Structure 1
Amino acid sequence: MESRALFERPPAAFRPSAYWFWHSIPDEATCRTQLADFQAKGIGTILIQARLALPREQYLSPDYLSAYRLAADIAAQLGLKLGIYDDYNWISGHAGGRTVEGRDELRERHLFWVSSADVQGKINGIHPSFTLKMGADIIAWQYEGGRIEWCEWTVEAALLHPSGAIDRRDQIVDVTSQVSLAGSDPASCGYSYDGAIASGWTLTVFVTARSATSRIINYLLPEAADRFIEVGLEPLVTALGEERVPDPVGSVFYDQPAPGFYRWDQIAGNPGNSLLFAPALRDHVASKTKVSFAIALLAVVHDVGPETLRLRALFHAAYSTLMNEAFFVTLRNWAEEKRIVLTGHEMLAHVSSWALNGGFTSIDPRVAPAADFFGIDALRHETAVDANNLLPQLAPKMGDSVARSNGRSRCVVETYFSAERTEVRAAGQWEVTLEAARAQAIRLACLGTRQFLWHGVYQTDGRDNDPTPFINPRFDFAPGINFEPWWPYHDLFAEETARVSAFIEPAKPRAPVAILYPLYTAFAEGPRHSHATHIGAWCEQLLAQDCDFMFVSEADLVDAAIEDGRLLASGLAFDAVVLPSVTVLETAVTIQTLDAFTKAGGRIWSSGETVSTVCTGEKAYGPVGVTSHTTAMPNAEMVSALLSTLTLDGPQISGQRPWQWIGRDVDGWWRMVVFNDGAEDIGFDILLGDGFDYAIWDAEHGSVEAIAAVQKLTVELEPHEVRCIRLHQNGRAAVATSLLSSRPALDRSQLIALAEGWIFAAGEGRAFAPISVDGGWEEQGFPAFSGTGIYRLSFTTETDADWMLELPTVNTAATSYIDGTKVGRRGWRPYRFALGHLAAGTHELELHVANTAANRYYDNTPYLGSGPDKSGLTARPLLIPLQNRPE
């Protein structure tokens, strides 16, 4: 079976991938050593990324390109895949500043505005609010000389309008020709109106300015994307040559293309940041909105009466389309010419959150490629998203959804770590354990991830006594996982998580609920509107009820078929559609589709506000007919009641709830992933009709065991245990219940607690000294030691027996040796090691325990937190004989 071969030996597409951070240009020895190490630890794909520690002038230099070519050759020899990370540091498009060198017209140009009752006014105090929080080094990276300066100020539009409510468009007077600049400098602009402003009236003036110093490009200009390719991507492909492209270098990865998110002293109205501007925007907006550019601009900023939401939505749709065509279409065309895959991710304001703007709350995603996820995904070949820290979050589910909408499935999830115990987010999390990362990788797989992308593996671990973020690699969104003491165990993580992903691959998920992604509501209302939080609430409540879901676009609904009371869209069948505080729709055809769905027996559930505006289509449309509506935020009781009206196909779980994923193969078999990410054992039953056959696909070892004919499968999962199960209804059950448990049969009445006599060394070649196993080594004289500590114990048994060693707590990975023989490695719970048959007498036990790098790298910095992290053993190891089985 092809899927079984995929599971047993997962290729690079399912294996963890990683950014390889270059902090300097590596020599051949470094390339060979590190790439061989990455390959040995189970990583399948590497993306070379130059970071701020690398002097910018060395990026794309002849020496850099030579090292890049060498790395590609070595990767090919090792069977690794290589992807082009397309920029210096991040924010794709600037090519380390080369795109705008000598081409000032390509630097970002922005729209600013001010509303006043005065004939003279000023725009000043402009600042990139998002970037400023990251510190002076990031400002110096984005701006020439670290200076934020503006030039080429231009009045684009000026309108007189009532200060209060505007009832009709004819109350707005275009006075652009009467407003002129009244002086400008690199930080501000003044304007003057040569008319009079009557009492109760306001003048709103829109000006543009080009940044004189920003290295960020204007994403509305296709010539900027062309220049980026010329100076940023072509040198890499040329250096690699046809013998390396498209194999092993088969993709190009873009990362968060986005303008500066500027605010200024006079900002007011709906947008939270300035907007990019290019001359082509005028015609795009006028064509889309059917009103003048000036009127459309005013609608974006202020309420202009009944047309406001429609005009605002259409403006942002035009803006987004222009940006997508200028940047992403240009990149895609180039990638296809080079026969490589375009992938990467836009800025995701929902990173680390379920709510649409719950991550980067200070930005307005409409001003960047950060709202039209379905449209952007149509322009790349493979889907990728961004995730932050170790929380279940929206990103992989959105990634899987947009991929399925565009004829693909699942996604790459870049996972980075921002600090939680210090406000300096770039300090990262050297305290991340392999167990925590594995749990997150399995959860992400259940949410739609094919490949886990580490951010990243480091070329160097940086410098002591220097807490500077970014510039010191040590604090550049740590951890660099290859400098973690648990890194030698990464191959265990890589093999198992790759098999879990490969197991999921052939099946379509059982996702009975579709959530409409309300793009035009997001365009019209902005990120502070309730649709953003309602989406988050629906996601969390559905998952809490073990109900999978997908997002669908309006285009998906318009193109959907309705069959047997189900909505067929994105290759899936949905029993219900959720409208999360949707106020604006693109087209009246969406309402017609939803009406047809309800008439066929489908369910439409809505919350929050309801539809008030449709941008295109029939003028006469009725309200959306919903089967259930609440103005409140969806809660557990409400969602549970709604789900009780659905009849789900396939296997059912009763009892305690594991993390789970359920999908169906084309041959009719069901696939399940069940995972216990908690601290206690859980148990539950799986049922499927009158009886079923099942098979256990062991993700740890790659083996498959088939078991036939049961009515009920009782599953017991220990903490952090994962199971992959295939099931097929047969209707001829011969065995009432089958028990699935990996816990060995142990005679705990005869256990021996190994409490006394331990000695310890803080690494190979170090002196041994007595230690207690009731507390970590960090509280016994080694507070800053990060590495592999060695525990030794001589113990005596009085009887021959087969023994199991159980370590109740380990911080954080362990290898066990008995009488000089290695018996096992574990990077997560349960920490049990089969010691085999031990004769009565004295034996030598040795445990090598690796902690995290946190105590070493955060020592003597502001980032340590409340004290050293737990390290090593913190509970007495247990020696337990296996139960004798009857002959």
Structure 2
Amino acid sequence: MPETAAIADIESRALFERPTAAFRPSAYWFWHSIPDEATCRTQLADFQAKGIGTILIQARLALPREQYLSPHYLSAYRQAADIAAQLGLKLGIYDDYNWISGHAGGRTVEGRDELRERHLFWSSSADRQGTISRIHPAFTLKMGADIIAWQYEGGRIEWCEWTVETAVLHPSGPIEAYDRIVDVTSQVSITGSDRASCSYSYDGAVAFGWTLTVFISARSATSRIINYLLPEAAQRFIDVGLEPIATALGKSVPDPVGSVFYDQPAPGFYRWDQMAGNLGNSLLFAPALKDCVLSNTGVSFAVALLAVVRNVGPETLRLRALFHAAYSTLMNEAFFGTLRAWAEGKGIVLTGHEILAHVSSWAPNGGFTSIDPRVAPAVDFFGIDAIRHDTAVDANNLTPQLAPKMGDSVARSNGRSRCVVETYFTAERTEVRAAGQWEVTLEASRAQAIRLACLGTRQFLWHGVYQTDGLDNDPTPFTNPRFDFAPGINFEPWWPYHDLFAEEIARVSAFIEAAKPRAPVAILYPLYTAFAEGPRHGHATHIAAWCEQLLAQGCDFMFVSEADIANAAIEDRRLLASGLAFDAVVLPSVTVLETAVTIQKLDAFTKAGGRIWSSGETVSTVCTGERVSDSVGVTSHTTAIPNAETVSALLSTLTLDGPQISGQRPWQWIGRGVDGWWRMVVFNDGAEDISFDILLGDGFNYAIWDSEHGSVEAFAAVHKLTVELEPHEVRCIRLRQSDQAARPIGHLSSRPTLERNRLIALADGWTFAPDQDQAFVPISVDSGWEEQGFPAFSGTGIYRLSFTTETEADWVLELPTVHTAVTAYIDGTEAGRRGWRPYRLGLGRLAAGTHELELHVANTAANRYYDNTPYLGSGPDKSGLTATPLLIPLQNRPE
């Protein structure tokens, strides 16, 4: 092995054995009130003991807004940072109160009304008069009065400074030429207005067959959200929101406080009665937008705006895309660019995540369906990521989703890799989403963290750890911390097992870090199609289908931008982009491209033997104005949404380097390190055992990197490795082709060899108590304790049993079902802990005779915290043991 590779190998193994904070789970620390020193010290020490590596202090709605950034708050913040540093924890500055970065708890706009969000609304009429009325925030209104009171002063949504920005007359039907669009801005005036609406009038006549469309801006008189198009708003946010924290932290910046984290900066997503056309929400407005649009589109602001909301002829898609590109660039530079400059001046990194309309979905439009992401920093992910230093994304609940894959993709496009994934939980058994999921188990969270790691996550960010568990008999969302996107994981009964989760997921992430993923397929992120067509266009469903089908068939992929393709090299029939080599490029119902350079590079790729697969609609528009040919170098096209059969046939044409998997398919990640070794993560997230074979050339050496214990074990060469994975078992495998003589088959299984013919079913005689101080009562282990007199008990229940063995042996305890984590004690000595399947614990060598078994079983907090609320659902969740434990001797090995 070359010296550099050997050093890299040593460093990789050391990182795997002792992962740093960059790989360990991080968490928002929800402050519901200003903590005292004792609370800070107790909770931070607890977080550190449970394996958390990084903390971000986040003031939540329960903390009175006027206390945010107060001297008392800043003093506690500094004290918490000092304690965290003593404990070896890293910190990041979460940049705002509650969320929606930029308002500084309302301080940004105090005394600076001109910085409040200003929006463009529009109305079309065949009459000379019209109105803008019943404006409402489609996204936040449904969250309830407390959210409205936080975002709007006095809880009132009011408007002022109504201004006609542009007005046009145009044919009501098709528009054949721009000269059919008549600018009549000077002839339209506001005739009346109040805090909720305005009326306007045109001093001419609207002829039959013509329409008057008027665009009117208004500034919110009460919103605490800023105008993200104004760099001075971002600077004011820094001055009153970030500088006070940085000053209070003093020399803790930049170590241990090494980052600033922004969260979903976005204007209100407003709708109104007269809204119509392609765009689904109001646009932010600032005077600078007019010049930016003119420079980018080459047409007047009036024509470009009309193209945004309706068809203006053959140039519509091009103009619409260029308008939104100008709007997005102005917003990105004004807000994120200003924040980056401040962060660099402090020597810290800018990170965080924008609105992700795809959260919890594979489709770019599958998450927040009530918003049009084009009006917010929520479409140009590659451009935003170029401004921040580290990538972060947002994920919701426990399903595989687009966010980590998009995060990894934009990071690689900008010269980095992988991302932080914030994971929060919204209720699924009640319409009050903020009630969260106290029913989340550590097993389910671990499974999601492993899947996310395979999709591009470096660090799992919990939302969050709580300062308090809130109030009884109060179902109010948000202001009762208990229902502020629960769970607060440190109030879950399974929290004492979190260190097991933290160590393992950190090692899985560190194992992946040393290699680049084998991703033979690139999916073009159709930015200009998204700009032009909007979120309901078919590109969204086609992207989702490609993602799901590729992953289902074990094929990894990355998203690439048009710039990535334009700057790519082509070698050996592969497209070299974002630091990876792609055999195929997917065009998911792409109708609009930014530049013809993309087409030229794709054509060159196909001529060199590469593959371009497309689905849905095809390219019709190039924004630089070139004519689109009939073919864009596509080697395979389907108009339908790609299905399993289609994708399987396409993948069969590829010849993949590296290890191959045959048999049942696990969740997997495959990559190659600079040392030439392949790395694989394989994970069974199902309920049944799976078995598959790994092959690599004529034979290969392999090593098992044990993510649970941090150990490494190397094995001699084999021709084939048969792997058996029990439910929820994960394996990290390192392998490299070998010229040495190889054994025919290797076998990898963690299941011990047991003498099942001698098993003892521990079915009867159990007693139970919800804690050590209460009387123990008889209990069945075939149904949960919630069915046996303890329906609202959440905590650690204790099961006891005396049993007798007739012979001395090494015994293993198998627990078929546990809800949800368990510690076993045999004769008063701890035998082991498990937070997920398989629940199998070695009891050691037991002499013949009677023994005392005690099982401490932790459930979730759901039955306790949802009791006597509308959020419980159909009944209490299963808790404790629900199947008979089995005592089985290990098979004696021959001497």
Q: Normalising TM by the smaller chain, what interval?
A: over 0.9
Counterpart position of 2:498: 490
- Is 1:543 matched up with 2:548? no
| 1:64-90 Cα distance to aligned partner (Å, 9 max, x none) | 000000000000000000100000000
- Is 1:715 matched up with 2:723? yes
- Is 1:8 matched up with 2:17? yes
Q: For residues 12 and 714 of structure 1, what CA distance do their matches in structure 2 show?
A: 34
Counterpart position of 2:518: 510
| 1:656-691 Cα distance to aligned partner (Å, 9 max, x none) | 000000000112110000000000000000000000
Q: Where do 5+ consecutive residues of structure 1 fail to align?
A: none
Is residue 296–residue 311 contact of structure 1 (8 Å, CA) maintained in 2?
yes
Q: For residues 164 and 211 of structure 2, what CA distance do their matches in structure 1 show?
A: 17
- Is 1:303 matched up with 2:311? yes
| 1:514-547 Cα distance to aligned partner (Å, 9 max, x none) | 0000000000000000001110110000001100
Shift in Å, 1:885: 1.5
Q: For residues 168 and 642 of structure 2, what CA distance do their matches in structure 1 show?
A: 42
Residue in structure 2 matching 1:666, options 674, 690, 706: 674
Amino acid at match of 1:758: W
Amino acid at match of 2:430: T
| 1:283-307 Cα distance to aligned partner (Å, 9 max, x none) | 0000000000011000001100001
Amino acid at match of 2:558: M
- Tell me the SS of whatever aligns to 1:19: strand
In the superposition, the TM-score normalised over structure 1's length comes to 1.00
Counterpart position of 1:247: 255
Counterpart position of 2:202: 193
Residue in structure 2 matching 1:220, options 205, 229, 235: 229
- Tell me the SS of whatever aligns to 1:482: helix
Amino acid at match of 1:220: L
Amino acid at match of 1:223: E
Structure 1 residue ranges (4+ consecutive) displaced by more than 6 angstroms after TM superposition: none
- Tell me the SS of whatever aligns to 2:176: coil
Q: Equivalences for 1:565-604 in 2 at 5 Å?
A: 565-604=573-612
Shift in Å, 1:133: 1.1
Q: For residues 417 and 711 of structure 2, what CA distance do their matches in structure 1 show?
A: 26
In the superposition, the TM-score normalised over structure 2's length comes to 0.99
Q: For residues 582 and 321 of structure 1, what CA distance do their matches in structure 2 show?
A: 21
Shift in Å, 1:765: 1.1
Shift in Å, 1:733: 3.5
Counterpart position of 1:205: 214
| 1:750-792 Cα distance to aligned partner (Å, 9 max, x none) | 0000011000001231111100001000000000000000000
Q: For residues 36 and 876 of structure 2, what CA distance do their matches in structure 1 show?
A: 36
| 1:122-150 Cα distance to aligned partner (Å, 9 max, x none) | 11010001001100000000000000000
Counterpart position of 1:362: 370
Residue in structure 1 matching 2:443, options 435, 443, 446: 435
> Which moves more between the two structures, 392-401 or 756-765?
756-765
Residue in structure 1 matching 2:485, options 477, 481, 484: 477
- Is 1:629 matched up with 2:637? yes
- Is 1:276 matched up with 2:281? no
Counterpart position of 2:4: none
Shift in Å, 1:622: 5.6
Q: For residues 309 and 746 of structure 2, what CA distance do their matches in structure 1 show?
A: 64
Amino acid at match of 1:221: L
Amino acid at match of 1:359: G
Q: Equivalences for 1:90-239 in 2 at 5 Å?
A: 90-239=99-248
- Tell me the SS of whatever aligns to 2:771: coil
Is residue 759–residue 769 contact of structure 1 (8 Å, CA) maintained in 2?
yes
Counterpart position of 1:655: 663
Amino acid at match of 1:110: H
Amino acid at match of 2:135: I
Q: For residues 741 and 458 of structure 2, what CA distance do their matches in structure 1 show?
A: 35
Shift in Å, 1:617: 5.8
Amino acid at match of 2:683: F
Q: For residues 610 and 740 of structure 1, what CA distance do their matches in structure 2 show?
A: 47
Amino acid at match of 2:516: K
Counterpart position of 1:725: 733
Is residue 300–residue 312 contact of structure 1 (8 Å, CA) maintained in 2?
yes
Counterpart position of 1:460: 468
Counterpart position of 1:562: 570
Is residue 700–residue 742 contact of structure 2 (8 Å, CA) maintained in 1?
no
Counterpart position of 1:606: 614
- Is 1:810 matched up with 2:818? yes
Amino acid at match of 2:236: R
Residue in structure 2 matching 1:524, options 508, 532, 536: 532
Is residue 622–residue 628 contact of structure 2 (8 Å, CA) maintained in 1?
no
Counterpart position of 1:798: 806
Is residue 29–residue 56 contact of structure 2 (8 Å, CA) maintained in 1?
yes
Is residue 288–residue 314 contact of structure 1 (8 Å, CA) maintained in 2?
yes
- Tell me the SS of whatever aligns to 2:790: coil
RMSD across aligned positions (CA): 0.6
When the two structures are aligned, how many residues end up with a matched partner?
886
Is residue 689–residue 731 contact of structure 1 (8 Å, CA) maintained in 2?
no
Residue in structure 2 matching 1:876, options 878, 884, 888: 884
Is residue 711–residue 733 contact of structure 1 (8 Å, CA) maintained in 2?
no
Q: Where do 5+ consecutive residues of structure 2 fail to align?
A: 1-9
Q: For residues 209 and 624 of structure 2, what CA distance do their matches in structure 1 show?
A: 34
Q: For residues 681 and 42 of structure 1, what CA distance do their matches in structure 2 show?
A: 29
Shift in Å, 1:3: 0.2
Shift in Å, 1:319: 0.1
| 1:564-589 Cα distance to aligned partner (Å, 9 max, x none) | 10000000000000000000000000
- Tell me the SS of whatever aligns to 2:497: helix
Q: For residues 723 and 766 of structure 1, what CA distance do their matches in structure 2 show?
A: 41
Is residue 399–residue 410 contact of structure 1 (8 Å, CA) maintained in 2?
yes
- Tell me the SS of whatever aligns to 1:534: helix
Amino acid at match of 2:54: T
- Is 1:37 matched up with 2:46? yes
Shift in Å, 1:170: 1.1
| 1:163-194 Cα distance to aligned partner (Å, 9 max, x none) | 01111111111111111111000000100011
Q: For residues 110 and 549 of structure 1, what CA distance do their matches in structure 2 show?
A: 38
Counterpart position of 1:371: 379
**Residue 644 and residue 61 in structure 1: after superposition, are their counterparts in 2 closer, same or farther (change >3 A)?**
same
Counterpart position of 2:56: 47
Q: For residues 232 and 488 of structure 1, what CA distance do their matches in structure 2 show?
A: 35
- Tell me the SS of whatever aligns to 2:686: coil
Q: For residues 733 and 739 of structure 1, what CA distance do their matches in structure 2 show?
A: 17
- Is 1:386 matched up with 2:433? no
- Is 1:835 matched up with 2:838? no
Q: For residues 733 and 613 of structure 1, what CA distance do their matches in structure 2 show?
A: 58
Q: For residues 656 and 763 of structure 1, what CA distance do their matches in structure 2 show?
A: 43
- Tell me the SS of whatever aligns to 2:139: helix
Is residue 692–residue 733 contact of structure 1 (8 Å, CA) maintained in 2?
no
- Tell me the SS of whatever aligns to 2:697: coil
Counterpart position of 1:682: 690
Shift in Å, 1:732: 2.7
Q: For residues 511 and 708 of structure 1, what CA distance do their matches in structure 2 show?
A: 28
Q: For residues 100 and 480 of structure 2, what CA distance do their matches in structure 1 show?
A: 20
Amino acid at match of 1:535: I
Q: For residues 765 and 9 of structure 1, what CA distance do their matches in structure 2 show?
A: 39
Residue in structure 1 matching 2:90, options 81, 84, 90: 81
Give the share of equivalent positions with the same residue, in percent.
87
Amino acid at match of 2:742: A
- Is 1:415 matched up with 2:423? yes
- Tell me the SS of whatever aligns to 2:365: coil
Q: For residues 147 and 659 of structure 2, what CA distance do their matches in structure 1 show?
A: 51
Residue in structure 2 matching 1:616, options 624, 635, 651: 624
- Is 1:27 matched up with 2:36? yes
Q: For residues 27 and 717 of structure 2, what CA distance do their matches in structure 1 show?
A: 43
Is residue 690–residue 733 contact of structure 1 (8 Å, CA) maintained in 2?
no
Is residue 588–residue 621 contact of structure 1 (8 Å, CA) maintained in 2?
no
